[in-house]
Chains A and B, each alone.
Chain A
Amino acid sequence: MVMPTAPTEQVAAQPPAAPVARRARRRQRNTVPYLLLAPTVLFLAVFFAWPMVQALILAFQDSSGQWSLAPVERMVNDLRFTESVRNTLVFAAVVIPLQTVLALAMALLLMSNLRGAGAFLYLWAIPLGISDLASGVVWLSIFTDRGYINSVLNALGLSDSGYPFLSYENPLSLFVCAAIAEVWRATSIVMVVLLSGLQVIPKDYGEAAEVFGATAWQRFTKVTLPLLRPSLQVALILRTILAFQVFAVVIALAGRQLPVLAEEAYQFYYTIRSPNTAAAYALLIMVLSLGFTVVYLRLLRVRDAELGRG
């Protein structure tokens, strides 16, 4: 019954050595990703985070550098403030849903095995390669009094002097024209995100659903859409943030008659020479963007179970 003690001692002696080695290995494993991330983090800190902090500081200083709420007051009391907040929000509310639906349809078309579907990808990628301002100018030449649409109307004898689509007297048509231009310009980016999302959805799920008798519509709503949620989330966040920055298209089409937030920030910085008020506008854009990002992250929360990763 006398148990040899040596093995017990051996067992007892081992533990101190093993965890140290494992911990060292783990530490090594843990530091590598951080080291890999470090250059990016440093880059973002120097070129993005620091200017952002500076903007924050600027927004709460007067022109002589004293702490003050003057820039915010000036922004809120500005002639175009209420209008620009309203326009920006309404613009985003109209353009984003439209773009998401369109982009989804476009991405699905590309995924279908229709002949020539690939050609659409090239066609739809064109707006991605054109600058905001250039596309604004293109649409200006379409909508202006002597533009392409009015030339056609004129040739058809429907309008003599041209319909003033872009006049401040027709705020609705001005808004619609800007929205059309923006939808044209920025739908492709949403499509690209959604397309990549569609491509990673395994075909098996759809096929399985088909075997169980699901219709195409059921497969779309019950299989594809839920699995696409992560991509939708990214696309919506991207588009919303960009929508709050909308600027060049609007200024090209509407001049100063459809003020939006980014345009006011620009005017205050460049024309009026008040970097502080411009920073206040930038801050407002940031707060709005952050708020909506949080909302999207909550609303479109992706549960692991839904992705089949229990």
Chain B
Amino acid sequence: MRHTGVRAVVHVFVAASFLVAACGQTTQPPGAQPQATSAAEAQPAAGGGGSLVFFANQFKPVEEQGKMQDIILKDAPVKADFIPEDPGPFNDRLNAEEKAGKLTVSLIGALHGDMDPFVKSGYLEDLTALVQKLGDRGFAPAFTDLAHLGTKDKTYYVPWMQATYVLAINKKAMQYLPQGADVNALTYAQLKDWGAAMQKATGKRLLGFPAGPKGLLHRFFQGYLYPSYTGSAGVVAFKTPEAAAMWNDFKDTWQYVNPQSTNYEFMQEPLASEEVWVAWDHVARLINVARDRPNDFVLVPSPAGPKGRGFMPVLAGLAIPKGAPNRAGAEQLIDYLTQPKQQANTAANLAFFPVTSAPVPAELNPGIKLESDAVQKQAAAKDALVSLLPIGLGAKGGDFNTVYLDTFQRIIIKNEEVQAVLDAQAKTLQGIMDESKAGCWAPDPPSDGPCKVK
């Protein structure tokens, strides 16, 4: 009797600890820190410009993180601990540090759209004086304007680097390019015909999109398809007839897309293995294939739709939080990172391009040259239609992206009725906009209150 009692207790214990482990896994309190909370502050400044924590929501993949730390920051005047984090935990940590009044981060690296909530909460230092001091760098005026974040006389970040999304093409695909199509000025209709021609000739579906769990397909809808078809950034025109036509078109195109796309995260991989020949992705996620095999690939601007060639420039900036433990060091590091050498180095190693007048050196790897040419061609296209990254969503960014990915899942993968899906998802989208109070962004005109779905 006694033995069964003990055994039952053991069972219950084992069971309970697993149950709790099940809960524990997913319910870490928000703001839980990664272990990487740098050794740098533990041992304060050891000579020179001291040390600091450089916290960013870019370059999270280990390989990129390593390049940033070991190449770009190698000769920095300040010993910088580069800590990248996904956007969610990134926001959590900064918010938690600000709320606790105990800052460990001295320098923030983030995308333009991610800065807005921090400005609204009053977390960021005004860097106007620093930008003026760095006047000789030749920042593009469009970028320094954006850095005002809607204010008149304040500058909240110093432009750091830029990137965008383009098409990468295996040269084997060129022979199937539809007649009369200019590869540097494709339309979405031509892309579809091209996919069809390749499938007819090879029996394979050779178009590819990064629709995997960590892929960036949502940016394709927000910054490319929606602007190209509706002239809107994807909120205002979310369920308009133009949007419905757009989804139907994309559904037609999808029949020529490799179904493995729902597993792709960095298109350079299926491009390198030739599972796909034509793929759309972020330049930083195409760089390996461009660098390793510059003779086999071409990079071209994204296609255009009825309203123009929608594209999304990705601008990253450097900001200093109020109360930063090493503000002087952070300013030195900003100075260092915006120097021509580091700007070119960042392009060469991480495929983010200069925001200053620093040229990308011609003797650079031909793959980098390919990318930078495509980026320039896209920006300079006659029908170019700039669409910004979502602005001011803060913690709602993930929710916002999910709306587009769920719409994709329902319309394209599950074959649901287009307008019904758009109507249903529009409600969720409006809820997110109302809750985050984010106004409309380019190419839509600014709104007074939260951006409204038409």
A residues near B (Cβ < 8 Å) are 44, 47-49, 51-52, 54-55, 58, 79, 144-146, 160-161, 164, 166-169, 230, 233-234, 237-238, 241-242, 244-245, 251, 254-257, 262, 265-266, 269-275, 278-279, 281-283, 285-286, 289-290, 293, 297, 302, 304, 307, 309
Contacts and interface: CB of A to CB of B under 8 A. Distances in A.
B19 A79 contact: no
Contacts of A283: 23
A54 B406 contact: no
A255 B11 contact: no
Interface of B: 1, 3-4, 7-8, 11, 14-30, 86, 88-89, 91, 203-204, 211-213, 258-260, 262-263, 273, 275, 395-399, 401-402, 405-406, 409-410, 413
B14 A44 contact: no
A241 B18 contact: yes
B401 to A, nearest CB: 8
Contacts of B3: 304, 307, 309
Contact of A275 (B7, B18, B27): B27
B263 A255 contact: yes
A144 B265 CA distance: 14
Contacts of B29: 54, 275
Contact of A265 (B21, B26, B30, B406): B26
Given A256-B213, A256-B262, A273-B396, A286 B23 contact: yes
Contacts of A52: 19-20, 23-24
B259 A278 contact: no
B4 A302 contact: yes
Contacts of B213: 251, 255-256
A289 B213 CA distance: 27
A118 B169 CA distance: 54
A272 B398 contact: yes
Given A230-B7, A278-B27, A145 B260 contact: yes
A110 B259 CA distance: 43
Contacts of A286: 19, 22-23
Contacts of B275: 145-146
B233 to A, nearest CB: 21
A275 B30 contact: yes
B409 A79 contact: yes
A92 to B, nearest CB: 13
Nearest to A302: B4
Nearest to A290: B19
A278 B11 contact: no
B23 A51 contact: yes
A79 B409 CA distance: 9
Contacts of A274: 399
A290 B15 CA distance: 8
Tell which of A47, A245, A256 has the most Cβ of chain B within 10 Å.
Answer: A256
Given A257-B413, A271-B88, A168 B23 contact: no
A257 B212 CA distance: 9
Contacts of A272: 398-399, 402
Nearest to A165: B260
A238 B20 CA distance: 13
A161 B205 CA distance: 10
B259 A168 contact: yes
B27 A273 contact: no
A85 to B, nearest CB: 15
A164 B402 contact: no
Contacts of A254: 263
A146 B264 CA distance: 13
B26 A255 contact: no
Shortest 4 CB-CB distances between A and B: which pairs? A48-B20, A167-B259, A55-B27, A265-B26
A241 B22 CA distance: 8
B15 A293 contact: yes
Given A144-B263, A245-B22, A304-B3, 19 more contacts: A44-B20, A48-B16, A49-B20, A54-B29, A79-B410, A144-B260, A234-B11, A234-B14, A241-B22, A256-B212, A262-B26, A266-B26, A269-B28, A272-B399, A273-B91, A275-B29, A278-B27, A297-B8, A302-B7
Interface of A is mostly: helix
Chain B at the A interface: mostly helix, strand, loop or mixed? helix
A269 B30 CA distance: 9
A271 B402 contact: yes
A55 B23 contact: yes
Given A271-B398, A272-B399, A289-B18, A237 B26 contact: no
A149 to B, nearest CB: 14
Contacts of B413: 168, 257
Best-surrounded residue of A52, A169, A279 (most CB of chain B within 10 A): A52
A283 to B, nearest CB: 7
A305 B22 CA distance: 35
A279 B26 contact: yes
A255 B212 contact: yes
21 contacts: A51-B24, A55-B26, A144-B260, A144-B263, A164-B260, A234-B14, A237-B11, A237-B15, A241-B15, A241-B18, A255-B212, A255-B262, A257-B263, A257-B413, A270-B89, A270-B398, A275-B29, A279-B26, A283-B23, A289-B18, A297-B8
**Most chain-B Cβ atoms within 10 A of its Cβ — which of A54, A241, A302?**
A241
A122 to B, nearest CB: 26
Contacts of A160: 203
Contacts of A49: 20
A282 B203 contact: no
Given A279-B26, A286-B19, A297-B11, A273 B398 contact: yes
B88 A289 contact: no
Nearest to B258: A145
A302 B275 CA distance: 55
Contacts of B21: 48, 245
B22 A285 contact: yes
A242 B19 CA distance: 9
Given A255-B262, A275-B30, A161 B204 contact: yes
A166 B263 contact: yes
A226 to B, nearest CB: 15
Contact of A166 (B203, B260, B397): B260
Nearest to B24: A51
